[in-house]
Amino acid sequence: MRRMIRIGVGVLVGASVVFGLGCGTATNNDQGVSVTLLGYFSPDSDGLCTATDPKPLSGAISPISDSAVTEPTARAGEVSGCAGVLNNLSGQFIRTQRIYMDYFIPGASVQPPSTSFPMGAVVGPATGTTTTGSTSNSGGSSLPPSFTGDNGPGNFVVADVAVVPVEVMAWINLNRNSLPELPFTMTVTSHVRGVTSAGDVVETNDVDFAVTLTPDNIIAPTDGTTVVP
């Protein structure tokens, strides 16, 4: 059966959303204060990544050499996920650039190489609530209304990314002798880098989640005998 493995993990954010932040460099975004990687979420009923009613997922299970996909845009052997990014800056939008992944397999004599994947999404500025209950930009932003109005991009965006790309899955299969006995769990640590409308580079907090790799799906051959009732 051909399919693409989609994975996700939800991460609880303990801090409140911060409005009106003026900082925007990679060095002052400790723990994702300005821009937060919330985690991974399940796709909708059509298999698409959307920010509407997102549902956090707890992890993934995939055969180690599964090379089947169900969607034309997916690559064989790829483990993909819906990554959710939240912009806490009230006066600036953020354009995400790449998502970075590090891999760790406990008990392995060698570790998979780190990698990154393009992530081109526009995350709108955070909004505040007026006394009348309507939403408005609380930071006096100079952005056009198309970015700050009700019809502009929201400050929470979910994008489809390759969490375990084909190249990393190929490396895992080529180095099975250096890895623990199947099944084993691989920890993937992700963070997103982007640039604000003011030109500052920002990096999110790290998100850890587990991918459990299982033995290949083997279908036992039959003898070809046809049973006639």
pLDDT digits (tens, 9 = 90+) for 34-87: 899 999 988 888 888 888 888 887 778 888 875 544 444 456 678 888 999 999
CA separation for the pair 152, 94 (Å, rounded): 13
Q: Looking at residues 125-140, what average pLDDT do you find? A: 46
pLDDT score recorded for residue 1? 37
| Encoded amino acid at 165, one letter | P
3-class secondary-structure state, position 76: coil
CA separation for the pair 40, 56 (Å, rounded): 6
Tokens of 199: 């030109």
- Comparing CA positions, the residue from 116, 86, 115 lying closest to residue 99 is 116
pTM for this prediction: 0.72
Q: Give the start-to-end residue ranges of the domains of the chain.
A: 5-214
The contacts of residue 36 (CB under 8 Å, 6+ apart) are 13, 85, 86, 88, 204, 205
pLDDT score recorded for residue 12? 34
Start-to-end C-alpha separation, the chain: 28
The contacts of residue 19 (CB under 8 Å, 6+ apart) are 88, 90, 126, 128, 138, 139
pLDDT score recorded for residue 81? 85
Q: Looking at residues 135-162, what average pLDDT do you find? A: 61
- The pLDDT mean for the chain works out to 75
User: What sections of 51-165 are H helices per DSSP?
Assistant: 145-148
CA separation for the pair 128, 125 (Å, rounded): 10
107 φ/ψ sector (left φ>0, alpha ψ -120 to 50, else beta): left
- Cα-based torsion angle of the residue sequence 5, 164, 48, 125 in order, rounded to the nearest 10 degrees: 150
